[in-house]
Each structure stands twice: as structure tokens, then as C-alpha cells.
């Protein structure tokens, strides 16, 4: 299993106080919009890993994310645990979602985050074939089970370090029907707390790709060119 995660990016080793905010499972109106307003208020750009089924249901919520300058990544189409799928089915989940995003924005997502952070050998081979770095995280607010914004924020703030990738949610991965997604208002409120607290500590916020670019050796290790495509050896 170690090989399956050998190229996954969990954090970036840095001395500079820089972190990346990431959000999974959207879009989820109106909570994605509320989050965009919160991020704009603080002048912060983040990375959104979108669920294909929700992109299909709420295309009008995808363009504002891109227009605001945020990075958009692929979070599979159905959010099913990838370990339960064949390699061809895994690849189809990624391609279908990337196609949806590209058709809306004219740009194909470069980054992928596996549902539940689960990545077996088949999924690693699929992302390698597609030239998509797999992005995990090492800091989260457990906002899938915690609903108090202060407690969500504290889970992040108590252990944050330079180069961390922070996970929060603007949508719901486990809901098959996009319209049945519940409120992510606590995560939006927690975002404001985290940003204010970390800025007071001297941190700045970047997208995941920008964070990765700060490590000169990371693209070499992943075999990625400046355009985000896997190099042919």
C-alpha cells in the first residue's frame, strides 16, 4: 500500500509560513457562494476539489469559483470509495469529472483528490496515466462530524505548521442527490476564524499548485512539467 501513496502530496516542507486552504465535495449552493464571499472578504485564494455529480447539477456555481481566482481540482464523479472500483472505472470517474469542468471553464483540472483519501494501486496507476498529482492533506477541522465553527477552527489551529494543506468542506460527498446536500455554514464560519488567526500569526494563503511550486524538488519527484503533465521518460 505504501507504493499507492508514494507520490501523493500531503504537505510541502517549508520554513516560510504558507498554507493552502482546500474545500471538498462542492459545489453546494448557497454555501459555496457564502464561502466565496468569506474568502473574498479576507483576500484569500483557495483550492476547490469538485465532485462531478455536483458540477453537473450546479454548473452555475462553478464559474464563480474560477472567476474569483481559486484553483479547481477533480474529486471524482460519484465520490464512491475508489478501492471498490475497477481501474477502468476509476479512470472513467476522473475523466468524466475533468470533462465536465473543462466544458464549463475551458480549462482541464490538473490536481486530483481521492474520495476519503483512499488510494490503492489501481487508482495510483490511473492518476499517473492521466498526469494528475494526488493531493491529500495533513490538517483538517473534522467538519464532517463537528458543527461548532470554533471547534472546527481549533482542530486546525492547534497543530498547524508551514506547508500544511488544510481540508474543509463546502459540499457533501456521501449524498447521491446533489440537491439533498446539507448546510456547510459552520465550515464557512470556521474559515473566517482560521484565516484571521493564521494571518495574526504571520501566515499567508496560497493555492495547492502555488504551495507545491515553492518546493523546487516536488515537481521532479512527481515527474511533472510546468504545464502539469507527466513527463515521458
- Please tell me the total number of residues recorded for the chain in this structure: 233
| Axis-axis angle for helices 87-105, 121-130 (nearest 10) | 40
24 is catalytic: yes
Is 95:132 a contact under the CB 8 Å cutoff?
A: no
Look at residues 104, 94, 97, 95 and name the one whose alpha carbon lies nearest to residue 64. Answer: 104
172 is catalytic: no
Which residues contact residue 158 at a Cβ distance below 8 angstroms, ignoring those fewer than 6 apart? none
Q: How far out from the chain centre does Cα 214 lie? A: 18
Give the three-class secondary structure for 231: coil
β-partners of residue 11 are: 164
Active site residue: 24, 25, 164, 170, which one?
24
Q: Determine how many CB atoms are found less than 10 A away from the CB of residue 18.
A: 17
Active site residue: 31, 70, 79, 169, which one?
169
Residues annotated catalytic, as ranges: 24, 169
Amino acid at each position: 500500500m505504501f507504493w499507492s501513496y508514494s507520490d501523493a502530496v500531503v504537505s510541502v516542507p517549508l520554513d516560510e509560513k504558507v498554507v493552502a486552504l482546500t474545500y471538498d465535495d462542492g459545489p453546494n449552493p448557497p454555501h459555496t457562494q457564502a464561502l466565496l464571499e468569506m474568502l473574498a472578504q479576507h483576500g484569500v485564494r483557495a483550492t476547490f476539489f469538485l465532485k462531478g455529480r455536483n458540477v453537473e447539477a450546479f454548473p452555475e456555481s462553478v464559474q464563480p469559483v474560477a472567476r474569483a481566482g481559486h484553483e479547481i481540482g477533480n474529486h471524482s464523479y460519484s465520490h464512491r470509495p475508489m478501492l471498490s472500483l475497477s481501474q477502468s472505472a476509476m479512470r472513467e470517474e476522473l475523466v468524466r469529472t475533468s470533462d465536465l469542468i473543462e466544458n464549463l471553464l475551458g480549462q482541464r483540472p490538473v490536481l486530483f483528490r481521492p474520495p476519503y483519501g483512499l488510494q490503492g494501486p489501481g487508482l495510483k496507476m490511473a492518476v499517473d496515466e492521466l498526469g494528475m498529482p494526488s493531493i491529500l492533506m495533513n490538517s483538517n477541522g473534522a467538519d464532517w462530524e463537528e458543527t461548532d465553527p470554533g471547534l472546527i477552527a481549533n482542530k486546525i489551529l492547534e497543530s498547524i505548521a508551514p506547508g500544511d494543506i488544510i481540508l474543509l468542506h463546502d459540499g457533501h460527498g456521501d449524498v447521491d442527490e446533489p440537491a439533498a446536500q446539507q448546510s456547510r455554514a459552520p465550515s464557512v464560519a470556521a474559515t473566517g476564524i482560521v484565516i484571521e488567526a493564521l494571518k495574526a500569526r504571520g501566515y499567508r494563503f496560497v493555492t495547492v499548485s502555488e504551495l507545491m511550486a515553492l518546493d523546487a524538488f516536488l515537481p521532479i519527484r512527481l515527474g511533472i512539467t510546468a504545464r502539469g503533465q507527466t513527463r515521458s521518460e
